């Protein structure tokens, strides 16, 4: 059932039963999910067929050729890349069946209520409190930098359930209803002019215990699943040669010979090589990952992605000279989706600055590589065995 030929056949059957040209987009996506062709490596009944992940490409190619609609992954990146794998790994049967289908079809957008003003790189220091009250938890606190909170129906949330324990041990992981009256979302404007992210104030938010993921106090471990998947999903996308940022700069170079200089030529070629090597590294990593879970090696992609996006967009602004001095639009908007390679060179330059901060900073990821991949001893720490309530902030 799970070889390429069978999948191809199944995909054709889906297309025959629900011809994209005459089927409502959402109906098609639901049918695709129900046929197990959403993410074939997911379990049967949850949009998948327990098939090897690598076979997704067979389905995608078949669907693309038929002009089938997709689930607009850029709009629901946090749901697909972070919430879904965590729900799959830790959700009860009910939770998984309730949430995964509308998550995948894009009917319900997700956001990530992790970072706080006092807990960014040191996420485990978070102070948002969740207190048990009957069958519910009551949550109070403040989150920040929450991308898509303004479009989200649900959030993955981590909160402190025991302040007397050392910080990594007193955290619990929840699914939070963004329509709860205690959730207040305020836009936070970015250096691009847009407000992609938000501050989220949580006041007396009630979460049923059934929406807890993992054991009480085990939230840090659950969050690792989210974070590892986040790092792979930022920068892990499969791209053709000259896809992504380098394609933009290369196009300017080819189209506008008058802008060319010797100095920029050398820089462009060096970055072109780096981008091509990053693409090949991604392909190799993907081949390694096809069967298993993402490991810390996934961090390498995000590290390279951030550095390259910044260097290439910076070069593109320089190359554009007079045109590099202008910006398309500073209007404050709350975008529905984010495209790192969208808009103009100035936007790409500014937005890419976030690539080395969001999803774990470059410095923190380098520490992870040094300690978990290379096995170097960690820096001496004074925060691991102290009760959370006694830590400095």
Partner 1 sequence: MSHEPDLLYSDTEDALRDAVRSLLADRAGHQAVLDRIETGDPYPAGLWPALAAGIGAAGLLVPEKLGGQGASHREAAVVLEELGRAVAPAPYLTGAVVATETLLALGATDGPAAALLAELAAGERTAVLAAPLTTAPRAADALFGATGPARAVADAAAADVFLVPRPDGLYAVPAAEAAVTPATALDLTRPLAAVDTAGAAGTRLAGAGEARAAVRRGLLAGAGLLASEQLGLAEWCLEETVRHTKERYQFNRPIGSFQALKHRMAHLWLDLVGARAAARAAADALAAGAADAELTVSVAQAYCSGVAVRAAEECVQLHGGIGMTWEHPAHLALKRAKADQLALGSAGHHQDVIAGLVDLPAPA
Ligand X SMILES: Cc1cc2nc3c(=O)[nH]c(=O)nc-3n(C[C@H](O)[C@H](O)[C@H](O)COP(=O)(O)OP(=O)(O)OC[C@H]3O[C@@H](n4cnc5c(N)ncnc54)[C@H](O)[C@@H]3O)c2cc1C
For the annotated catalytic residues, the residue numbers are 230
Is residue 229 a contact point for ligand X (CB under 6 A)? no
Q: Which does 81 bind (CB under 5 to 8 A by kind): partner 1, ligand X, none?
A: none
Q: Quick one: 54 or 361, whose CB is closer to ligand X?
A: 361
Q: How far is the CB of 230 from ligand X (least distance, A)?
A: 9
Is residue 28 a contact point for ligand X (CB under 6 A)? no
Which tokens hold the place of 87?
């729900």
Q: Which does 326 bind (CB under 5 to 8 A by kind): ligand X, partner 1, none?
A: partner 1
Q: Quick one: 276 or 385, whose CB is closer to partner 1?
A: 385
Which of these ranges, 41-49, 93-101, 139-147, 380-388, lies near ligand X under the rule CB under 6 A? 139-147
d(CA 76, CA 153): 11
Q: Which residues form the interface with partner 1 (CB under 8 A)?
A: 115, 118-122, 125, 144-145, 188-191, 193, 261-264, 310, 314, 317-318, 321-322, 324-330, 346, 349-350, 353-354, 356-357, 361-363, 366-367, 379, 381-383, 386, 391-393
Nearest to residue 95, comparing CAs of 106, 104, 84? 84
Q: What distance separates the 2 farthest-apart alpha carbons in the chain?
A: 71
Among 197, 305, 340, 388, indicate the residue that binds ligand X (CB under 6 A): 197
Is residue 367 a contact point for ligand X (CB under 6 A)? yes
Q: How far is the CB of 90 from ligand X (least distance, A)?
A: 18
Sign of the dihedral through C-alpha 373, 144, 200, 152: negative
* R_g of the chain, CA atoms, integer Å: 22
Q: Are 213 and 87 in contact (CB under 8 A)?
A: yes
Q: Which does 391 bind (CB under 5 to 8 A by kind): partner 1, ligand X, none?
A: partner 1
d(CA 371, CA 389): 27
Q: How far is the CB of 44 from ligand X (least distance, A)?
A: 31
Q: How far is the CB of 64 from ligand X (least distance, A)?
A: 29
Q: Quick one: 40 or 126, whose CB is closer to ligand X?
A: 126
Q: Quick one: 109 or 119, whose CB is closer to partner 1?
A: 119
Which tokens hold the place of 22?
């005459």
Among 86, 128, 147, 310, indicate the residue that binds ligand X (CB under 6 A): 147
Q: How far is the CB of 192 from partner 1 (least distance, A)?
A: 9
d(CA 71, CA 5): 24
d(CA 119, CA 320): 39
Q: Which does 114 bind (CB under 5 to 8 A by kind): ligand X, partner 1, none?
A: ligand X
Contacts of 237-245 spanning 24+ positions with Cβ under 8 A:
238/282, 238/283, 238/286, 239/279, 239/282, 241/276, 241/279, 242/275, 243/279, 244/275, 244/308, 244/309, 244/341, 245/275, 245/308, 245/309, 245/312, 245/313, 245/316, 245/340, 245/341, 245/348, 245/352
Q: 218-247 as b/e, with b when 16 or more CB fall inside 10 Å?
A: bbbebbebbbbbbbbbbbbbebeebebbbe
Among 39, 114, 137, 174, indicate the residue that binds ligand X (CB under 6 A): 114
Q: Which does 318 bind (CB under 5 to 8 A by kind): ligand X, partner 1, none?
A: partner 1
- Given the structure tokens 């074939």, which residue do they identify? 40
Q: Which does 353 bind (CB under 5 to 8 A by kind): ligand X, partner 1, none?
A: partner 1
d(CA 124, CA 121): 8
Q: Quick one: 51 or 111, whose CB is closer to ligand X?
A: 111
Nearest to residue 285, comparing CAs of 305, 265, 270, 268? 305
Is residue 361 a contact point for ligand X (CB under 6 A)? yes
Q: How far is the CB of 160 from partner 1 (least distance, A)?
A: 16
Q: Quick one: 294 or 359, whose CB is closer to ligand X?
A: 359
Residue 126 parent element (H or E) = none
Q: Quick one: 20 or 117, whose CB is closer to ligand X?
A: 117
Strands 110-113 and 154-160 turn out to be parallel
Residue 134 parent element (H or E) = none
Which tokens hold the place of 213?
């993921």
Q: Quick one: 264 or 289, whose CB is closer to partner 1?
A: 264
Is residue 71 a contact point for ligand X (CB under 6 A)? no
d(CA 231, CA 295): 10
Provide the binding-site residues for ligand X, judged by CB under 6 A.
111-112, 114-115, 120-121, 145-147, 197, 354, 357-361, 363-364, 367
């Amino acid at each position: 059932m799970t070889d390429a030929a069978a999948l191809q056949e199944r995909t054709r059957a889906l297309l025959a039963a629900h011809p994209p040209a005459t089927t409502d987009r959402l109906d098609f996506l639901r049918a695709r999910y129900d046929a197990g062709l959403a993410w074939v490596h997911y379990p049967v009944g949850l949009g998948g067929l327990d098939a090897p992940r690598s076979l997704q490409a067979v389905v995608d190619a078949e669907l693309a050729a038929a002009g089938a609609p997709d689930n607009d992954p850029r709009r629901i990146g946090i749901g697909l890349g972070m919430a879904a794998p965590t729900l799959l790994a830790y959700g009860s049967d009910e939770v998984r069946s309730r949430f995964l289908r509308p998550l995948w079809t894009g009917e319900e957008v997700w956001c990530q209520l992790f970072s706080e003003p006092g807990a960014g790189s040191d996420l485990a220091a978070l102070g948002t409190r969740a207190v048990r009250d009957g069958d519910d938890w009551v949550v109070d606190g403040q989150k920040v930098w929450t991308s898509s909170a303004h479009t989200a129906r649900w959030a993955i949330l981590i909160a402190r359930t025991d302040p007397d324990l050392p910080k990594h041990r007193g955290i619990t992981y929840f699914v939070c209803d963004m329509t709860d009256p205690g959730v207040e979302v305020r836009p936070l404007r970015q250096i691009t002019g847009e407000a992609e992210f938000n501050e989220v104030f949580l006041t007396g938010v009630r979460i049923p215990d059934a929406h807890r993921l993992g054991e009480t106090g085990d939230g840090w471990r659950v969050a690792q699943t989210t974070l590892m998947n986040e790092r792979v999903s930022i920068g892990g996308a499969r791209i053709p040669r000259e896809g992504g940022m380098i394609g933009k700069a290369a196009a300017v170079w080819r189209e506008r010979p008058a802008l060319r200089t010797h100095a920029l030529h050398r820089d462009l070629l060096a970055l072109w090589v780096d981008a091509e090597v990053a693409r090949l590294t991604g392909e190799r990593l993907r081949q390694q990952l096809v069967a298993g879970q993402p490991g810390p090696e996934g961090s390498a992609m995000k590290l390279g992605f951030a550095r390259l996006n910044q260097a290439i967009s910076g070069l593109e602004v320089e190359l554009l000279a007079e045109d590099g001095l202008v910006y398309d639009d500073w209007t404050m908007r709350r975008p529905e989706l984010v495209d790192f390679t969208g808009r103009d060179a100035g936007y790409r330059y500014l937005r890419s600055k976030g690539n080395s901060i969001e999803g774990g900073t470059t410095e923190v990821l380098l520490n992870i590589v040094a300690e978990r991949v290379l096995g170097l001893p960690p820096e001496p720490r004074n925060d691991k065995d102290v009760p959370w309530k006694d830590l400095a902030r």
